[in-house]
Amino acid sequence: MKLTIHHLYADMMNLYGDRGNVLSIKKRCEWRGIPVEVVDVGVGEPIRPTGCDVFLFGGGQDREQALLAGDLAGRKGAELRAIVEDGGVVLGVCGGYQLMGHSYETPEGEKLPGVGVFDLHTEPRGPDEERLIGNVLVRVELGGESRELVGFENHGGRTYLGDVEPLGTVLYGHGNNGRDGTEGARRLNAYGTYLHGSLLPKNPWFTDHLILSALRRVDDSFELEPLDDTLERRAFEAMASRLRGRGGS
């Protein structure tokens, strides 16, 4: 079995080092002896699923999002929706997350169409509103288990969910809009979030969840060999305990 990581718009949507998410999946596969390939998918290039895939969509600025909206409005957007409906594993971060919704409105008032994977839309911040910046701690209920994610957010847009589950509940930070306590969105095996940092190196359990979800599309009995995550757990707990101590959102 070989896992293929499809890095969507790697040259344009990597504003906050989201390539670290690619590297995290790649290394945690290699440490287990699982063959892995990274494929960069650019503008005008089709998505070519292999049957054992993870699709990663990073963050960018308004200019990049405007350029990509047209590319996603055609065949590629339809391909991405079909992948999600088929149970494919997709992670969108910040700008990528926003474009996985129905629409994203820029501060200049331009309304960019999204892919429509998630029932959500993103509005610009008001003239008297600040950007939502800082460390974040999120509680996630996944597979009947309650876990936590840490990350860093930096966004002006306010995302509002429709008929879609949030990825989690904000314990500290702002999340989707700084008002309703939600962070990100999820549907089937597709996840969207504002958490940079990069997200996956900081949260190895979630990295393994994505890997296992992809591998089980080929072999539903597959299990991942445990790794020694002592250092990763210490780093996570150092940040999480500090944010828990601050309390509130």
Question: What residues act catalytically?
Answer: 94, 196
Contacts of 62 (CB under 8 A, 6+ apart): 106, 107, 108
H or E element that contains 100 = none
Alpha helices in 48-115 (DSSP H): 62-72, 75-85, 95-99
Tokens of 182: 């939600």
Check if the beta carbon of residue 138 is closer than 8 Å to that of residue 183: yes
Q: Tell me which residue of 202, 208, 206, 199 sits closest to 226, measured CA to CA.
A: 208
Burial of 167 (0-12, 13-18, 19+ CB in 10 A): buried
Q: Which of 19, 192, 222 is nearest to 104 (CA)?
A: 192
Query: In 10 A of CB 93, how many CB atoms?
Result: 31
> Are 239 and 134 in contact, with CB atoms under 8 Å apart?
no
**HSE-up (13 A, CA, CB side) for residue 2:** 9
3-class DSSP assignment, residue 245: helix
